[in-house]
Amino acid sequence: MTSNFAKVTNERADIELDCSGLLCPLPVYQVSLALGQLSPGQVLRLVTTDPGSLEDIPALARQTGNTLLAAERHEDHQLFWIEKGLRS
Amino acid sequence: MTDTISHPSTDEVVGRRRIALVASKGTLDQAYPPLILATTAASLGWEAGVYFTFYGLDILHEERLQRLKVASLANPAGPIQLPNLLGALPGATAAATKIMKKWMSDARMPTVPEFIEMAQGLGVRFFACSTTMGVMGVEEDDLIKGCEIAGAAAFLDYAADADVQLFV
């Protein structure tokens, strides 16, 4: 796990994606499609409930050249802010 | 058979990771892992190809892929825990299949045909084993659209340049 989990994040977001209730690989699939619609520098805010996404979303960011700005880990869900990279 | 999948230009290929998967099993439960991994890899921006061989070819078979089943016999981890003697009874396979489909549907997981559509939409390449086609009497027209017919050498040529190779 290379990302930093903060209690509170003040990151802005350009679009929101709610993947609550979806299991792997659907959050990664949905994020990939959503990032495809963004321009470099724009930020996606993601909600997940699959605990696997704690590792999957940082992996997605690493593999696709997008930046995981922040992540919040809550009792029953996770929040992620992903900035669209230049090369993705 | 037309190859509907566009091939990325050389520039795009440079630095791109690749996964080469073999799907050798034709049961409903074993159809999921290669399709999930291929879809995930493509979502990560990787090139992904799946070689469907032996019973795995059923996953590309337009009719058979609609009625893939979960084995109730000799499947101790299956959805119904029955002694093998009872697992052989008529209807046991249908029951195990029905339970697996309900698990998937309750968990909001896509069906196998839906995963195939997702994978192809992301550019995952599906290779149909030509030997299996010959042995089992499967014709090109029996397969879903967008498959590429390939022998083992062609697949190994593809897999040799892959960063990850997995056999299911």
Is there a contact between B44 and A24 if contact means CB atoms under 8 Å apart? no
Q: How far apart are CA A9 and CA A73, in angstroms?
A: 11
A87 CB near a chain B CB, below 8 Å?
no
A25 prior amide bond cis, ω within 30: yes
Q: What is the pLDDT of residues A5-53, one digit of tens each?
A: 555 567 789 999 999 999 999 999 999 999 999 999 999 999 999 999 9
| Per-residue confidence (pLDDT) for residue A5, from 0 to 100 | 59
Q: Nearest by CB to B43, which of A22, A28, A65?
A: A28
The pTM of the full predicted model, rounded to 2 decimals, is 0.89
A20 CB near a chain B CB, below 8 Å?
no
Q: What is the mean pLDDT of residues A57-74?
A: 96
Structure tokens at A46: 């993601």
Structure tokens at B17: 């990771």
The complex scores an ipTM of: 0.88
The residue extents of the domains of chain B are 25-69+109-167
Q: Which CATH superfamily is domain B25-69+109-167 in?
A: DsrEFH-like (3.40.1260.10)
The residue extents of the domains of chain A are 15-83
* A19 has catalytic annotation: no
| Per-residue confidence (pLDDT) for residue B7, from 0 to 100 | 40
Q: Which CATH number fits domain A15-83: 3.40.50.300, 3.30.230.10, 3.30.450.20, 3.30.110.40?
A: 3.30.110.40
Q: What is the pLDDT of residues B77-114, one digit of tens each?
A: 888 888 888 888 889 999 999 999 999 999 999 999 99
Chain A residues whose CB is inside 8 A of the B110 CB are 26
Give the Cβ contact number of residue A78 at 10 Å: 21
Q: Is residue B25 within 8 Å of residue B7, measured between CB atoms?
A: no
| Per-residue confidence (pLDDT) for residue A1, from 0 to 100 | 44
Least confident of B3-12, B123-132, B156-165: B3-12
pLDDT > 80? residue B27: yes
Q: How far apart are CA B92 and CA B147, in angstroms?
A: 33
To the nearest 10°, report the CA torsion of A80, A85, A87, B4: 50
Q: How high is the mean pLDDT of chain B?
A: 91
pLDDT > 80? residue A4: no
Is there a contact between A29 and B44 if contact means CB atoms under 8 Å apart? no
| Per-residue confidence (pLDDT) for residue A6, from 0 to 100 | 57
| Per-residue confidence (pLDDT) for residue A88, from 0 to 100 | 63
Is there a contact between A26 and B109 if contact means CB atoms under 8 Å apart? yes
pLDDT > 50? residue B48: yes
% pLDDT > 90, chain A: 83
For residue B18, give the H/E element and its range: strand B18-23
Is there a contact between B44 and A22 if contact means CB atoms under 8 Å apart? no
Distances from the Cα of B2 to the Cα of A45, B65, B143, B144, B147, angstroms:
39, 20, 12, 11, 8
Give the Cβ contact number of residue B161 at 10 Å: 10
